[in-house]
A and B are shown apart, each in its own frame.
Chain A
Amino acid sequence: MKTFGRAFASILLGAAALVGASVHAQDGFRVIVSPVNPVTSLRATELSRLFLKKTVSWPTGAPVAAVDQERTSSVRRAFSLEVHAKDPDAIVAHWQTMVFSGRDTPPPVRTSDASVLDFVRANPGAIGYVSGAADTAGVKVVAIR
């Protein structure tokens, strides 16, 4: 009985730790990658660099293919404030500077969670974000630490 109780407590503590690692992500969005991507968690600063195309390859050497959602979507707003610590309009201004100075182009934009999921499933190096309620079958959810 005591053994069962200790085991159950361990399971609860482990589950609580996992929830704590990604609870702020699940509040508004979840970051997803291809199931073949070995990454399981990322710091917010690392995530920001991926979506600002300042980091262009994964540790495996595979090219990163980030995908954004529409500027006016609530999931993008949640992602932008959490990861970039800026609202989407400021990120749009950043990309305007990059585009018109000939230095880079923004990640492609998808108009729905479903199209983001399709993109990530089809691209081994892809990374995107979807709303907390999205069905993430076929992709891997990455924790933000």
Chain B
Amino acid sequence: MLGHGRWLTCATALAVTLTGSSGSLAQEAPRHSLQGFGGWAYGKTDNDNFFGYGTSPEGVWDNYSFALNVGARPMEKLSIRAQAFWGDDLRGQRTNLDYVFAEWAQSPSLKLRVGKVLVPFGLYSETYDVGTLRPFYLLPQFYAGTLGLVPKAYLGGGVTGAPRLGENWELQYDAFGGQIEFEPFFVDRVTGFDSATGLPVFTRTQEQIVGRDMIGGRLLLASPARGVDFGGSVIRLGSVDVPEGSPLELGSATLYNLRAQYQTGPFAARGEFFKGTSEGDVGIESLYAEASYRFLKKWQVAAQYEHSEILLAEGDSSIPEALTRHESFGLALNFWVSPEFVLKLNGYAVDGSMLARPENPGLAAVLGTIEQKTRVLVLGAQFSF
């Protein structure tokens, strides 16, 4: 894997080459394209808890991201797409090749994709970090919270298309297979006991789950003219590799997603239900609903409700009960300078410590000192081009 500096050098060289060869790329025939997005936010909580990777009791200023999205069309039906990402938050600085794949478009109803391909799962999995496509700065937490459940891409191949159904409807489908690397997440494990107090000693490590022998699919019924789409996805993992020493025993696993969204004029509403089950009787359920309304052309208000829960087998106490539940209400007031640049003021009232947790959640859970209610402020800007 390339180091951070080499990724930056390669991406910059590619960007300069494309820019130099095609002038203003957005205005030329689409043989090449160069787009990007990014954002920055300040995040703070009102107690000892951290929420997501961008808010802390002291306030987080180092919370920014940038991505370059490049495309090329060497032949009429062949396109190559790639996206490089740089980000900095409480996980530290990160660089990643979000996806790189080739697509052969036989027709709008049948396209073949091979490589590291975006996962067609859920409303936001394919536009993970693009903040100008949603009302809240942060994604719903089951996507990108501290459990990092929804992956950005899979390694393998798939087919996709959107055949027409009559005048105003289309059926969007995806079928894919390969391997999935889930987003990294932190785990606090008991690594010993304090001889003086007898209290457990927790050590935090960053882990990553890999799903192998993966097959998945998505079906959506959509009417772009009416602004509505609904459907679902499923991903089956034949086996799941967990970090060495992890108490998790997942075996095989299945992820389900149902979603719906509706947009008309200034009003938009969307919701999703997500469920993960495993052979090892560890599961997770999550749902959220959000609505937004634009007024005075550039202003927007939005509200969001989210509920998540870790499901353990009866008698399983590997995860303290206080860390298995999350509920939040969010409000947003945004100013859209343009569709490509938005200023966001978001607030959340969080109930539960599954995702809003202190520096040492394991010990705090054992001692019963975790604060269950947290208020979160996020103030930032996001852009795309």
Where the two chains meet, the residues of A that have a C-beta atom closer than 8 Å to any C-beta of B are 45, 48, 52-56, 63, 65, 71, 84-86, 89-90, 92-94, 96-97, 99-103, 105-111
> When the two chains form their complex, are residues A100 and B37 in contact, meaning their CB atoms are under 8 A apart?
yes
> When the two chains form their complex, are residues A54 and B170 in contact, meaning their CB atoms are under 8 A apart?
yes
- For the complex formed, measure the closest distance between the CB of A86 and the CB atoms of chain B, giving whole angstroms: 8
Find A100's partner among B126, B164, B227, B340 (CB 8 Å cutoff). Answer: B126
Known A-B contacts A52-B224, A56-B108, A96-B132; A109 and B26 likewise in contact (beta carbons under 8 Å): yes
> When the two chains form their complex, are residues B225 and A48 in contact, meaning their CB atoms are under 8 A apart?
yes
Find A111's partner among B27, B99, B118, B224 (CB 8 Å cutoff). Answer: B27
- For the complex formed, measure the closest distance between the CB of A22 and the CB atoms of chain B, giving whole angstroms: 21
- Taking the complex as formed, is B263 at the interface, i.e. its CB lies under 8 A from any CB of chain A? yes
- For the complex formed, measure the closest distance between the CB of A67 and the CB atoms of chain B, giving whole angstroms: 9
- Taking the complex as formed, is B159 at the interface, i.e. its CB lies under 8 A from any CB of chain A? no
> When the two chains form their complex, are residues B33 and A99 in contact, meaning their CB atoms are under 8 A apart?
yes
Contacts of A48 in B (CB 8 A): 225
- For the complex formed, measure the closest distance between the CB of B187 and the CB atoms of chain A, giving whole angstroms: 30
- Closest residue of chain B to A115 (Cβ to Cβ) is B27
- For the complex formed, measure the closest distance between the CB of A34 and the CB atoms of chain B, giving whole angstroms: 16
- Taking the complex as formed, is B81 at the interface, i.e. its CB lies under 8 A from any CB of chain A? yes
Known A-B contacts A97-B127, A99-B69; A92 and B339 likewise in contact (beta carbons under 8 Å): yes
Contacts of B107 in A (CB 8 A): 56
> When the two chains form their complex, are residues B27 and A105 in contact, meaning their CB atoms are under 8 A apart?
no
Alpha-carbon gap, A48 to B226, bound state (A): 13
- A56-B108, A99-B71, A106-B26 provided; 4 other pairs, C-beta below 8 A? A48-B225, A52-B224, A56-B107, A85-B225
Range, interface on chain B: 35 or more
> When the two chains form their complex, are residues A100 and B339 in contact, meaning their CB atoms are under 8 A apart?
no
Alpha-carbon gap, A96 to B338, bound state (A): 13
> When the two chains form their complex, are residues A94 and B27 in contact, meaning their CB atoms are under 8 A apart?
no
Top 6 nearest A-B pairs (CB, nearest first) are A101-B126, A102-B81, A92-B339, A89-B339, A105-B33, A100-B130
- Closest residue of chain B to A44 (Cβ to Cβ) is B225
Alpha-carbon gap, A103 to B107, bound state (A): 12
Contacts of A94 in B (CB 8 A): 224
Find B263's partner among A90, A101, A102, A108 (CB 8 Å cutoff). Answer: A90
- For the complex formed, measure the closest distance between the CB of A24 and the CB atoms of chain B, giving whole angstroms: 18
Alpha-carbon gap, A114 to B83, bound state (A): 35
Sample (18) of A-B pairs whose CB atoms are under 8 Å apart: A45-B225, A48-B225, A52-B224, A55-B108, A85-B225, A89-B338, A90-B263, A92-B340, A96-B339, A96-B340, A97-B127, A102-B69, A102-B81, A102-B83, A102-B99, A102-B118, A107-B30, A108-B27
- For the complex formed, measure the closest distance between the CB of B67 and the CB atoms of chain A, giving whole angstroms: 8
Contacts of B26 in A (CB 8 A): 106, 108-109
- For the complex formed, measure the closest distance between the CB of A53 and the CB atoms of chain B, giving whole angstroms: 8
Contacts of B374 in A (CB 8 A): none
Alpha-carbon gap, A92 to B167, bound state (A): 23
Most buried by A among B28, B99, B384: B384
- Taking the complex as formed, is B162 at the interface, i.e. its CB lies under 8 A from any CB of chain A? yes
- Taking the complex as formed, is B269 at the interface, i.e. its CB lies under 8 A from any CB of chain A? no
Contacts of A96 in B (CB 8 A): 127, 130, 132-133, 339-340, 384
- Taking the complex as formed, is B197 at the interface, i.e. its CB lies under 8 A from any CB of chain A? no
Most buried by B among A65, A94, A108: A108
